[in-house]
């Protein structure tokens, strides 16, 4: 079940809201837990036990860390079990295939189905255990409460990666105000519309082009641009909807995206893109390795490890590892060479530089294997421009120009700047009128989104596969 489906919008979510707001306060967590389990059962019922097992491992591990003198040993064992489960389900085939290729042998490659959301919920669970070890959070003695934290359906399968410390107090006691409820609905509608109206349309175009043979340069460029918009609006939309639903239920999840395409450096881009993953690797890998405290050489090694893991976290393919190392190179260059240059040049040039690097990065990310990556780059940089390719380009632009305009507009904070100005207006009457327009806009957008859903069968979430 995905957020942008009719069954979720018109059946699952209304039922959750109905039961959640009619039951007494002490039963609200149980309502969310039951519906979170039902939600996960739609995606893969046989892997529900795996999710519960991961939570049980971390629940018991945290107790042993908190109550015994062998804290480091139990932390090591707990993290090892978590990583072991993740590696088995996500990377077994990758390792065996590469061993076969390297040593020219024929080991059996088992067909292991990737449990939905495993990369996200294992990282959440590990963050809880590590923070118990660091004494940043209090031990959770109620297993069902910890299970709710990990399985909470708004962010279960595609993030953001919510730290236990972020919602520790809210798991025990929380309130949903009218303003919270309205904000949550607005955020959900905005995320849903970004997903259905922009990301899905960009995805259709990107898939068409990336699966084509003998691409010309203009078409290859357009495919990369379409995917660049698709992945942003797809993933940020999921985070918007997750944050919105969290707010409705009284949880204040941290932001996961902050308009990354307006960045003026790669360093800034990664402060704005998938913030929960970046900060997770920073706090639980980079800093424990020594961060920048042990000199430039050690810092570069630490960055290399982090960005190799960041790429590998996204999937068991070499293109993801190359993608991670690609960003490692530019982040090192910016830290030691380019930082002062980027500050001195005009801002539009630093912005252009960032977009070019990010664009190429998304092409690497999108290509399924190394051979398709090489072929796509050959097409992209062949500068093969013919009258036929320009005609083909015009056909695509004619079909998708509206969605490209929407994408260009809403990858900036223009909507939020307008709503902020409305909130700050002093004139009562004009403010009331503009507020009516604001909510009318949301209603219209929601209706249009539902119409798109009714007439389209293309509705995947990219990050479900990670």
DSSP string, 331-342: HHHIIIIIHHHH
Count the neighbouring beta carbons within 10 Å of the beta carbon of residue 85. 17
**pLDDT(464) > 70:** no
Q: Rounded to two decimals, what is the model's pTM?
A: 0.92
- C-alpha 317/C-alpha 254 separation (Å) is 30
DSSP string, 125-161: HHHHHHHHHTTSS-----HHHHHHHHH-GGGTTT---
Compute the chain's Rg from CA coordinates: 23
Mind telling me the catalytic residues? 314
**pLDDT(459) > 80:** no
**pLDDT(466) > 80:** no
**SS3 at position 83:** helix
Percent of the chain with pLDDT strictly greater than 70: 97
Write out pLDDT tens, residues 19-28.
999 999 999 9
Q: Is 454 exposed, middle or buried (0-12, 13-18, 19+ CB in 10 A)?
A: exposed
Top-confidence range, 163-167, 414-418, 456-460:
163-167
**In the chain, where the domains are located:** 6-174, 180-289+341-465
In degrees, rounded to 5, the angle at the alpha carbon of residue 144 between the alpha carbons of residues 138 and 147 is: 80
pLDDT top residue among 217 and 419: 217
Q: What values do phi and psi take at 74, rounded to 5?
A: -70, -30
Contact criterion met (CB below 8 Å) for 135 and 98: no
Percent of the chain with pLDDT strictly greater than 90: 69
- C-alpha 271/C-alpha 265 separation (Å) is 10
**pLDDT(369) > 70:** yes
């Amino acid at each position: 079940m995905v957020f942008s489906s009719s069954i979720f919008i018109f059946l699952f979510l209304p039922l959750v809201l109905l039961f959640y707001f009619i039951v007494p306060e002490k039963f609200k967590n149980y309502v969310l837990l039951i519906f979170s389990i039902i939600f996960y059962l739609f995606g893969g019922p046989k892997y529900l036990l795996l999710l519960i097992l991961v939570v049980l491992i971390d629940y018991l591990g945290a107790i042993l860390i908190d109550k015994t003198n062998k804290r480091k040993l139990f932390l090591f064992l707990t993290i090892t079990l978590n990583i072991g489960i993740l590696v088995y389900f996500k990377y077994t085939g990758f390792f065996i295939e590469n061993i076969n290729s390297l040593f020219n042998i024929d080991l059996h490659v088992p067909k292991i189905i990737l449990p939905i959301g495993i990369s996200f919920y294992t990282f959440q669970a590990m963050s809880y255990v590590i923070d118990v070890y660091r004494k940043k959070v209090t031990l959770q003695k109620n297993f069902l409460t910890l299970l709710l934290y990990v399985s909470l359906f708004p962010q279960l399968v595609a993030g953001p990666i919510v730290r236990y410390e972020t919602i520790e107090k809210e798991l025990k006691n929380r309130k949903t105000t009218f303003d919270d409820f309205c904000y949550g609905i607005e955020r959900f509608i905005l995320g849903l519309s970004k997903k259905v109206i922009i990301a899905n349309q960009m995805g259709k175009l990107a898939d068409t082009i990336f699966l084509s043979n003998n691409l010309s340069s203009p078409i290859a460029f357009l495919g990369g641009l379409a995917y660049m918009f698709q992945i942003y609006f797809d993933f940020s939309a999921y985070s918007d909807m997750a944050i919105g639903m969290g707010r409705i239920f009284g949880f204040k999840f941290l932001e996961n995206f902050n308009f990354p395409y307006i960045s003026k450096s790669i360093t800034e881009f990664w402060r704005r893109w998938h913030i929960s993953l970046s900060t997770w690797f920073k706090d639980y890998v980079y800093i424990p390795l020594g961060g920048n405290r042990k000199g430039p050489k050690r810092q570069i090694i630490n960055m290399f490890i982090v960005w190799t893991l960041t790429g590998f976290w996204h999937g068991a393919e070499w293109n993801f590892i190359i993608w991670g190392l690609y960003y490692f190179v530019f982040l090192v260059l910016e830290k030691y060479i380019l930082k002062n240059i980027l500050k001195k040049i005009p801002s539009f040039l630093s912005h252009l530089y960032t977009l070019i690097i990010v664009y190429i990065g998304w092409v690497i990310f999108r290509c399924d294997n190394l051979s398709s990556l090489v072929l796509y780059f050959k097409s992209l940089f062949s500068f093969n421009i013919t009258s036929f390719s320009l005609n083909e380009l015009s056909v695509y632009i004619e079909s998708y120009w509206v969605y490209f305009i929407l994408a260009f507009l809403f990858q900036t904070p223009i909507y939020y700047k307008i709503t902020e100005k409305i909130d700050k207006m002093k004139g009562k009457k004009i403010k009331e009128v503009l507020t009516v327009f604001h909510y009318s806009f949301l209603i219209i957008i929601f209706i249009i989104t539902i119409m798109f859903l009714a007439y389209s069968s293309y509705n995947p979430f990219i990050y479900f596969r990670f």
